[in-house]
Every structure is written in C-alpha cells, then in structure tokens.
A and B are shown apart, each in its own frame.
Chain A
Amino acid sequence: MSKADTAALIIGGGIAGLETALKLGQGGYTVILAEKESALGGNVAKLHSSFPRWEDPQELIKVKQAELKTLPSVRVLANTEITGLQRQSGGFTAHWTDRATQKSGSLPVQALIFATGFELFNASVYGEYGYGIYKNVVNSLEFEHLLGMYEQRAIHVPESIAFFKCVGSRDRSKGFPYCSKICCMYTAKQAGLVKKISPDTQCYVFYMDYRASGKEYEEFVRQVIEERKVRYVRGRPSKVVLENDKLLVRFEDTLIGVPMEASVDLIVLASAVVPRPETLALARMLGLKTDDYGFVEPVYGSPVRIEERIFMAGGCGFAIESLGAIAQGAAAAAEVTALFNKSE
C-alpha cells in the first residue's frame, strides 16, 4: 500500500487535532480533519494569554493553521460532524454530516484519532453561586471572551473580580470527585492578566490548594500573587447574594478560621472540565472503554493509543493544558505513522 491508500480521520480540529494533522501531513500521509464548528482551533482559539510565559495562544493557532494550508495531503472538513463509525477489516467507515449544507456521506479510513476536546461543567447546579441567575456570574471560558474585550479596551474592567476554583471539581456531592487539573493555572493567568490590564482592579482567587506542578508553574503563580498582587483566599465560597447591584460573596478564610464577605462586580467560576457527550456517543459506537465520567482511556503504556487503529489526543482523554494537548497530538501522529508503516 502506498501513502495515498491509507487515510487517517481526526475528529476535532482543536489544538490537539491540528497538531496531529500537521505532523501526519508533513510526513505525506492522507489526513481528513473533521471539525464540527466553522473554524479550527477549539477552546485554545478562545484564550487570551497563556501560562507559564504569557504567550499568545491565538497566534499559535494562526501559525499552525497557515502551515496546515501548505500541506497538500490534508483535507479539512469544517462544519462537519461525524455521526457514525463502523469497524471494517483494516479500518473504519465514518459517516459525516455537513452542518451548514445538511449534506452527508461516508468515507473509508484506516486510522481514527479522537481529538474531540472537553467542555465545562454546567455550573447552574450550584444555585448558591447564581450562575445563569445573576448576569455577572460567568464561567472561565466566557470570561476569556471578556478578557479579549478588556485587552482591546472595548469595555471597562470591573473594579473587583472574584475567581472561584473547584466549581464542580473535587465535589462528591454535586459535581465530580476529580481535580480538573488546569483551573489553578488558568485562573492565575486570568487574574494576572486582569491586573496587567487594570492594576487597580481587585482580584480575589478562592482556592483550596493551588496546584502548580509543571515547569515554571509555581514561579508563575507566585509572580501573580507577589508581583501582580492578586489576593488569594483559602476557602471555598458558600454563597453569593445581590447587594446594591454588587455581588456579595460569603466564605470562610480557613487560615484564620473566620467567616467573611467580599463585595465584587464579577464572579468567574472555574467550572470542572467534563467530557463532551459527543465523545461518549462516538466511543459507544465502537465499544471503546471510557472511565466513569466518559473520558476515553488510552491503554497502559501509551499516552494516546486506545485500541488497534484508534488513538486519542487532547481534552477528550482528560483535562489538559494546551502544551500537553500538542504533545499528545504529536504522539498520536507518531503512533499513526508507525501503524501505517507496519501495514505497508
């Protein structure tokens, strides 16, 4: 078989899927990159600045996208949803639907890469935080959009902002027992960026622990606390009530053990990272193993291989930072390259 006879289907054009497509395309393999939305880039394309070095993720997406366009063996299907997957001998049949034109069809592929990403837990489960009730309570992805507008001076930065971590994570009673891994870092980034744009804005970060296990991560959080002067409060907020058009946050500072209140203009909820329901639906079509929550699971010993000819990359496996998603995307490309060379 030649390289033209084998094709890999990447489901999801976020940063992980993009990276897999790039690496396979650079190797000359035929790649079909199916993205449900009209544009590539996924969650990362919505972000402003990054940890641990304040770099621009949108620039990163732009560079990768431009590179992708130069690769003749990569076909990008935007607006395209994969609606069905069947195993065939030596590969799969994938059914697709174009969300814009409602056209549909199917195509044969020899390898599958799940790069469907994650989404955020619906924080309206916590009536006490008022998400979906008070207009100034947003989740962290919605806040990224606001950050963009603050950067462009399109709207005023509020006088005070509270960031709640662990909303839905580390909560066995209303959410999930797991730690969503990335919230500590992106919250530090968001609060730090706000302080850079508007040093007078008061930022509170409510935390149980801050988990900064990565190269330069600890230094990054310390910089946000020490230099940018973000107030970190150790305690999980209990209640948000309206008071004179402001939001009053009730919490305990657990380090001195006293109940306290803070009056803020905006609340940002670092909602738990949860798998997309679409991922679970696709995994079920192939009988793939997922964990209790619906994240797909690679086999022990490989960062990305789920089963024969099926791989994953990025947030569909678990919460992951963008650099980690890129690493997994590249690893998936390496696995596919190895597979296709073995088949040849």
Chain B
Amino acid sequence: MIRKRVLSPEERIPDIPETIFLFRSCTGSMEYPGTENSIKEICKILGVQVVMDPDQTCCSGYLLTCSAYKPEFSLAVTARNLSLAESRKLDVYAFCNGCYGYICELSHIMLHNPDYKKMIDGVIDQLGYKYEGKTRIFHMQELYYRLKDKIVENVKRPLDGLRVGVHYGCHYLARQYGILDEGGYPTFIEEIIEAIGGTPIFYKERQACCGGAVGRGFTHKENVVHAHLYKKFMSAKKENIECIVTVCPGCNTSLDREQPAIMERSGEAINIPIIDIGQMIALTLDVDVQKLGFEANSVSLDSVLNKLGIH
C-alpha cells in the first residue's frame, strides 16, 4: 500500500516530548560545538529537557559506508546507540541529517529482518544492551517546526528581514516517507525563518547537495566539491543572500570550511555566513552569543550579528 509521504507536524510528533534523547553528532560537536549547545539552550527556553549519553558512539553511517558494505557492524552500533535511549524510555532526536538518515535506515533494516535482529541481539546482549525498536527517531528540525508557535512567542530579537537562504541537505528529505515535507520542493524551514522574522530567499541551487558526502570533502576537494559548491554559492550570491541556514552539521562543514578556499581559487568574494538552524533560532531567542560558538565558523558571522544589533 502507498505509505503517506508527507506528514503534518502534529502527525509526525503527536505529543510534545518533555524529555528528549539528543543524539550527538561527531561532526557537530567537533567542528561546531555551538550547534549542540544551541539545542540545549533552545530546549531550556521551550521547557524540553535534554538527555545525552557519553556512551553514545558515531551514528555508524560512516561505518556503513567505510566498512565497504558490511551492515553487520553498523547494525550493532546502531542497536547499541538506540538502546541507550530506549532504556530511558525516550525518543531519539538527531540534529544531523546523516545521523538521522542512517539510524532510521539501519533500525528499519533490523526491525524488518529477523535474521539480522537475532544476530545483533546476540552481540549486544552480552555487552549488557537491549534493543527492541520502541524508541522513535526524529530530527531536531521536526521538533522546531512542531514548536514553531512556541518559538515565535519567545522571540526577543527577530531577524529583521535578514535575507536567509536555506540549505536542506539531502539525507533527511531522502527518507521520502513519513517526513515533514515533499523532497522535491521543501519549504518548512523557510516557514520557520519567516516566523522568526527573516526573509526566506529561494535561490536557484537551493537544493544542490553540500558536496561533503562521506569523505569526498577530504579526498575530492578540488575536482568535485569546489566546482559543485562554487555553482551553489554563485546562485545564492545572485539573490543577495545574507546567510545560509543548514540543518546538518555535515553540510555546515562543507559550506563553511570550503568557502575560503573557493573564494581563493575563484577570486570571487562570496562571504556568506553559514549557520545551523538551531543557532539561528537561539539567536532570535536572545541566547548569549558566547554560548553559540560562532568563533568556530570560518566565514565570519559579523555581518549577521551586526545587522541584528549584537556586539
């Protein structure tokens, strides 16, 4: 039967959780500690408690791709990670598209293949973990969208018409079923941006991939990633976009860290600050900018902060 592709925020998250299990992202906490921090700050304001576990490992997406298609490793790692949330009876909220996509897919594989499930159970049982598939998996952006009205109530520093381009990244929308928007033309982040006072700008290459992929950002910088991103930035530049909001630390890394090199190679001044959606919301909620770790960004955010009257 045809499954429902696009869900309303109420269908996706029927009850607003009191406590969430925040699934940490390697890239997020490593490259942009502010992303993780901003979630904690936003949740504090919105009255949602955040639980994290230092025992949690990499989401295993890297593992899946790098181990040259041996799903067994990744399945076991995913089961172990999810069991950490399940033992607390919490739902998992990932803030990285990669983590979200991979744990969804891997848990789906496990729960629909009894042979895999049995094998993985055998492995993690002996280490003292148990995974039954009860915990549900969400992306943080879904919670923001669900709590949009509550966020708006708490906005103290609206974006003042800031021209914001959105970068959705690929792996949330690639889930295709049971997500918040149509993968071919999503608009829900633009709605959030509009709600907090920004002017969402639809630029031509809005949905072009960040080029980061699994390691392609390391290994194919010059020949693949730069050429690809140059196109994207030029189309954003053409619309006079003042900053790009991402929903995935991986995309954030590609768009931000590669920008100086692309500017150098192309001789064009791009200088578009890249901000995680969590950091953006936190800014409007008047969270202390020191807590948002913007010093980690390669492209300075001063233009945005000045416009908002911070500093």
Contact = CB atoms under 8 A, between A and B. Distances in A.
Interface of A: 125-130, 133, 173-174, 239, 241-243, 248
10 contacts: A125-B182, A127-B182, A127-B183, A129-B184, A130-B185, A133-B185, A239-B207, A241-B204, A241-B207, A242-B204
A125 B4 CA distance: 11
Contact of A127 (B184, B202, B204): B184
B202 A128 contact: no
B204 A248 contact: yes
B5 to A, nearest CB: 8
Contacts of B186: 127
A248 B206 CA distance: 13
Contacts, number: 27
Contacts of A133: 185
A174 B183 CA distance: 11
A89 B143 CA distance: 59
Interface string B75-105: 0000000000000000000000000000000
Contacts of B183: 127-128
Interface in B179-233: 181-186, 202, 204-207
B238 to A, nearest CB: 9
Contacts of A130: 185
Contact of A126 (B184, B202, B204): B184
A276 B252 CA distance: 46
B204 A243 contact: yes
Contacts of A243: 204
A241 B202 CA distance: 10
Contacts of A241: 204-207
Contacts of A128: 183-185
- Interface of chain A: mostly helix, strand, loop or mixed: mixed
Contacts of B185: 127-128, 130, 133
A330 to B, nearest CB: 36
A89 to B, nearest CB: 38
Contacts of A239: 184, 207
Nearest to A238: B184
Contacts of B204: 241-243, 248
A133 B187 CA distance: 11
A242 to B, nearest CB: 7
A2 to B, nearest CB: 50
A127 B181 CA distance: 9
Nearest to B183: A127
Nearest to A128: B184
A250 to B, nearest CB: 11
A267 to B, nearest CB: 14
Contacts of B181: 127
Nearest to A126: B184
A130 B204 CA distance: 13
Contacts of A248: 204
Going nearest first, the 5 A-B pairs with the smallest beta carbon separation are A127-B184, A128-B184, A127-B185, A127-B182, A241-B204
A174 B4 CA distance: 10
Contact of B202 (A125, A129, A174, A242): A242
Contacts of B5: 125, 174
B6 to A, nearest CB: 9
Nearest to A130: B185
Nearest to B177: A173
A155 to B, nearest CB: 26
A49 B182 CA distance: 36
A290 to B, nearest CB: 16
B182 to A, nearest CB: 4
Contacts of B206: 241
Contacts of B184: 126-129, 239
A128 B168 CA distance: 14
A242 B181 CA distance: 20
Interface string B159-184: 00000000000000000100001111
Contacts of A174: 5
Nearest to A176: B2
Nearest to A175: B2
Interface string B20-44: 0000000000000000000000000
A130 B182 CA distance: 11
Contacts of B207: 239, 241
A243 B202 CA distance: 11
A129 B183 CA distance: 11
Contacts of A173: 176
B251 to A, nearest CB: 19
B169 to A, nearest CB: 16
A168 to B, nearest CB: 12
Given A127-B185, A133-B185, A241-B204, 15 more contacts: A125-B5, A126-B184, A127-B182, A127-B184, A128-B185, A129-B184, A130-B185, A173-B176, A239-B184, A239-B207, A241-B205, A241-B206, A241-B207, A242-B204, A248-B204
